[in-house]
């Protein structure tokens, strides 16, 4: 019997991880992925078939756009049958947005799509990039005893933690430990062994074909409340022509000012068809609008709960649903539903 060696497609979009230090000048330069094995010789020891694809030119993830997400989905869809898993090397700054977006775009995904990056370039001595890259590849290729992917999800792997992509947020601009999934436990922890938490990983139908989606509507905004926020500013923002949806970052468990002008502006906006989703400014925990009077007033103004969604996930989910031209009613319903493990509604 011929045993096929595992295969992984590495997609380099840009970001710190793909840089090496020019030994002569000390300057950071973009890494040429055709020479991957030369720079990361450890990969040879895997005995995997590893191919790579690189964005040309590579982009700093601050320049990420839905069109790049569509490009990633196209690459994955095109190569879907030829690889066991996919590793996306991405700048850390907007990695959580890309991971959230891809989780909605890759419907019926049954193979791993692991995003990773690093805080120090792969070509520097103390880099965290090699460990992140090598472990991501191992996770992307990992199969259970039936030959199915152990982690058939879009994930972020960073500094020993494998996290569900649409639950993850960048929390530190300097530490190697730069990402957290506050409202959902890690899917795997990595030490001497990779310890998969199989009960937390999504159960999928491995026979279903991948259904790729590409459309987004970016007529959305995130509005963070703060004490002293002005009527004229909120009013002007919610009347911006073309605006379709707002992620409203409220206080604590979903609370907002009770001032009549504030609730009136929100009510008028929802009456005009603008979808307003309430998430908390706290890093952890969820919105419970029925808990305090302030939250109840928001409900009465037509605001819907985003439960324990991250801002990145609420925003990309709205852009995705709006892009698919669903009715306002359907979008409100889907925002209140868990589509791909992105929220826990709680009791
Ligand atoms: N600015 C870089 C980026 O997000 C930072 C990094 O890669 O970590 O592309």
Domain CATH for 233: 3.40.50.40
Burial of 145 (0-12, 13-18, 19+ CB in 10 A): exposed
Whole-number pLDDT of residue 22: 76
What would the pLDDT profile of 194-251 be if each residue is shown by its tens digit?
A: 999 999 999 999 999 999 999 999 999 999 999 999 999 999 999 999 999 999 999 9
What would the pLDDT profile of 210-221 be if each residue is shown by its tens digit?
A: 999 999 999 999
273 phi-psi bin (left φ>0, alpha ψ -120 to 50, beta other): left
Among 7, 168, 197, smallest CA distance to 90 is for 168
- What spacing in Å lies between the alpha carbon of 16 and ligand 1's midpoint? 5
**In a shared domain, residues 166 and 231:** no
Q: Measured between alpha carbons, how far is residue 179 from residues 113, 165, 336 in Å?
A: 17, 10, 25
Question: Are the beta carbons of 64 and 98 closer than 8 angstroms?
Answer: yes
- Which pLDDT band holds residue 1 (cuts at 50, 70, 90)? low
Whole-number pLDDT of residue 190: 96
Quick check: is 67 in a domain?
yes
Percentage, residues of the chain above pLDDT 90: 80
**In a shared domain, residues 179 and 33:** yes
Quick check: is 346 in a domain?
no
Whole-number pLDDT of residue 62: 94
**In a shared domain, residues 58 and 199:** yes
**Whose Cα sits closest to atom 6 in ligand 1?**
91
**Whose Cα sits closest to atom 1 in ligand 1?**
60
The pair phi, psi for residue 155, each rounded to 5°, is -130, 165
Gap between the Cα atoms of 199 and 18, Å rounded: 34
Catalytic residue set: 16
**Number of domains within the chain:** 2
**In a shared domain, residues 45 and 193:** yes
Q: Which of 192, 212, 232 delimits the end of a domain?
A: 212
Gap between the Cα atoms of 110 and 207, Å rounded: 8
Q: Is the pLDDT of residue 187 over 70?
A: yes
Domain CATH for 69: 3.40.50.1170
- What spacing in Å lies between the alpha carbon of 314 and ligand 1's midpoint? 22
**In a shared domain, residues 169 and 287:** no
Quick check: is 136 in a domain?
yes
Question: Are the beta carbons of 169 and 115 closer than 8 angstroms?
Answer: no
**In a shared domain, residues 237 and 129:** no
The residue ranges of DSSP E strands in 34-180, in sequence order, are 49-54, 85-89, 106-107, 113-116, 154-158, 161-164, 169-170, 179-180
**In a shared domain, residues 234 and 148:** no
Q: Is the pLDDT of residue 35 over 80?
A: no
Whole-number pLDDT of residue 347: 58
Atom of ligand 1 nearest to the CA of 59: 9
Ligand 1 site residues, Cβ closer than 6 angstroms: 14-16, 60-62, 91-93, 117
Q: Is the pTM of this model over 0.85?
A: yes
Query: What mean pLDDT do residues 163-173 have?
Result: 96
**In a shared domain, residues 118 and 235:** no
Computed over every residue of the chain, the mean pLDDT equals 93
Domain ranges, residue 244: 220-335
The residue ranges of DSSP E strands in the chain, in sequence order, are 7-12, 19-21, 28-30, 49-54, 85-89, 106-107, 113-116, 154-158, 161-164, 169-170, 179-180, 188-190, 194-196, 211-212, 220-224, 245-250, 275-280, 304-305
Gap between the Cα atoms of 308 and 311, Å rounded: 9
Atom of ligand 1 nearest to the CA of 94: 4
């Amino acid at each position: 019997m011929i045993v096929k060696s595992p295969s992984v497609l590495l997609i380099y979009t840009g970001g710190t991880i793909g840089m090496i230090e020019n030994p002569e000048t000390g300057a950071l330069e973009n890494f040429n992925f055709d020479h991957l094995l030369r720079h990361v010789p450890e990969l040879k020891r895997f005995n995997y078939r590893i191919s790579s694809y690189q964005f040309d030119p590579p982009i700093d993830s601050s320049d990420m756009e839905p069109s790049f997400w569509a490009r990633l989905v196209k690459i994955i869809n095109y190569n879907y049958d030829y690889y066991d898993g996919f590793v996306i090397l991405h700048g850390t700054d907007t990695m959580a947005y890309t991971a959230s977006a891809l989780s909605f775009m890759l419907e019926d995904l049954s193979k791993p799509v692991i995003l990773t990056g690093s805080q120090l370039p792969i070509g520097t001595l103390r880099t965290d990039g090699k460990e992140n890259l090598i472990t991501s590849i191992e996770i992307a290729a990992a199969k259970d005893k039936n030959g199915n992917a152990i982690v058939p999800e879009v994930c972020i792997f960073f500094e020993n933690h494998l996290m569900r992509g649409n639950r993850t947020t960048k929390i530190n601009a300097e530490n190697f430990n730069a990402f957290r999934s506050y409202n959902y436990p890690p899917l795997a922890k990595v030490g001497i062994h990779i310890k998969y938490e199989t009960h937390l990983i999504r159960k999928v139908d491995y026979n279903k074909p991948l259904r790729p989606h590409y459309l987004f509507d970016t007529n959305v905004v995130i509005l963070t409340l703060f004490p002293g926020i002005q009527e004229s500013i909120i009013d002007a923002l919610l009347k911006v022509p073309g605006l379709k949806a707002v992620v409203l970052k409220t206080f604590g468990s979903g609370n907002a000012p009770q001032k009549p002008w504030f609730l009136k502006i929100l009510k008028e906006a929802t009456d005009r068809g603008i979808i307003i989703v309430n998430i908390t400014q706290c890093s952890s925990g969820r919105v419970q609008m029925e808990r305090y009077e302030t939250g109840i007033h928001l409900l009465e103004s037509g605001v819907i709960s985003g439960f324990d969604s991250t801002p990145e996930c609420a925003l990309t989910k709205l852009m995705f649903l709006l892009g698919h031209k669903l009715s306002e009613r359907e979008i409100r319903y889907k925002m209140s539903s868990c589509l791909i493990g992105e929220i826990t509604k709680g009791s």
